């Protein structure tokens, strides 16, 4: 596997830790890094049930490496954006759910990476922005599709039109992150969540990763049909039947336990 030094990948039991490790450039994402992310998420090792992506240093990621944004012709520009799309599709529609643990700057392409993940944990130091507006460019790594689903179109438009910076506290209120934790405790929270995710039935995780987004993108009538199909398939698996029996016979945890 061709993984650059700026990406550290480590498997511990059922969790894959993927660290963006380029702190001297504030984890700015160059071509090598985005291709490394594509490789890692296309080759999730056997036994891994959840991945965590996080950043070394004071920031999750400063976004696209602007020093590589040289004069590209139109076709090269399209290919570059499509490379990001390909890589982040592997994150969103890969083999396992991905938890992003963010802190410091989570901006531009960094926010695009975080929004391709399934849930986000933010430390208090986090701030979110889309500086593309100020740099005279447009998002190219999937934000225009994924971010409005998290925060709504008006908020994304505001971030790009005015350069608005969203704080960690605002982020959790508007749906950018699902958890807000103190500085330095993001990874611990990410691991706690990853362990819960890893203990789910495989079919449930599959449905949430691959079917729910399609339901959201479809019309009501197709969506409801997809839901019925998924509900029936999942409840017919031996794993689900075992879990239901465990509850009915008093062996399973109650809600909240």
Both tokens of 66, joined, read: 């602007």
Annotated catalytic residue within 46, 132, 192, 239: 132
Q: Please say if 132 is a catalytic residue.
A: yes
For ligand 1HE, the closer of residues 176 and 207 by Cβ is 176
Residues with Cβ within 8 Å of residue 175, at least 6 apart in sequence:
150, 151
Residues with Cβ within 8 Å of residue 39, at least 6 apart in sequence:
1, 2, 3
Annotated catalytic residue within 14, 24, 38, 112: 112
Residues with Cβ within 8 Å of residue 29, at least 6 apart in sequence:
20, 61, 63, 64, 65, 109, 110, 113
Q: Please say if 170 is a catalytic residue.
A: no
Q: How far is the CB of 139 from ligand 1HE (least distance, A)?
A: 6
- Are 68 and 137 in contact by the 8 Å Cβ rule? The answer is no
Q: How far is the CB of 229 from ligand 1HE (least distance, A)?
A: 35
For ligand 1HE, the closer of residues 105 and 151 by Cβ is 105
Per DSSP, what are the bridge partners of residue 54? 19
Q: How far is the CB of 5 from ligand 1HE (least distance, A)?
A: 17
Residues in the site for ligand 1HE, rule: CB under 6 A?
25-26, 28, 59, 62-67, 84, 105, 107-109, 112, 131-132, 135, 139-141
Give the residue numbers annotated as catalytic, written as ranges: 112, 132
């Amino acid at each position: 596997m061709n993984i650059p030094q700026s990406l550290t990948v480590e498997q511990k039991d059922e969790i894959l830790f993927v660290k963006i490790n380029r702190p001297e450039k504030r984890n700015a994402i160059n071509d090598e890094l985005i291709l490394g992310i594509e490789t890692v998420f296309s080759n999730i090792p056997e036994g891994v049930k959840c991945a965590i992506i996080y950043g070394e240093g004071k920031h999750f990621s400063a976004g696209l490496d602007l020093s590589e944004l040289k004069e590209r012709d139109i076709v090269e520009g399209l290919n570059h954006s499509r490379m990001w799309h390909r890589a982040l599709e592997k994150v969103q529609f890969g083999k396992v759910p991905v938890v992003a643990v963010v802190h410091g700057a989570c901006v531009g392409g960094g926010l695009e990476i975080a929004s391709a993940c399934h849930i986000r944990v933010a430390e208090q130091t986090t701030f979110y922005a889309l500086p593309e507006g100020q740099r005279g460019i447009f998002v190219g790594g999937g934000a225009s599709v994924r971010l409005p689903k998290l925060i709504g179109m008006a908020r994304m438009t505001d971030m790009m039109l005015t350069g608005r910076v969203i704080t960690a506290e605002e982020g959790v209120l508007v749906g950018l992150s699902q958890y807000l934790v103190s500085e330095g405790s993001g990874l611990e929270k990410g691991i706690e969540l990853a362990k819960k995710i890893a203990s789910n039935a495989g079919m449930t995780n599959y449905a949430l990763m691959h079917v729910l987004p399609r339901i959201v993108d479809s019309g009501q009538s197709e969506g409801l049909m997809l839901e019925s199909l998924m509900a029936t398939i999942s409840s017919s698996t031996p794993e689900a039947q075992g879990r239901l029996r465990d509850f009915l016979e008093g062996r399973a945890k109650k809600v909240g336990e």
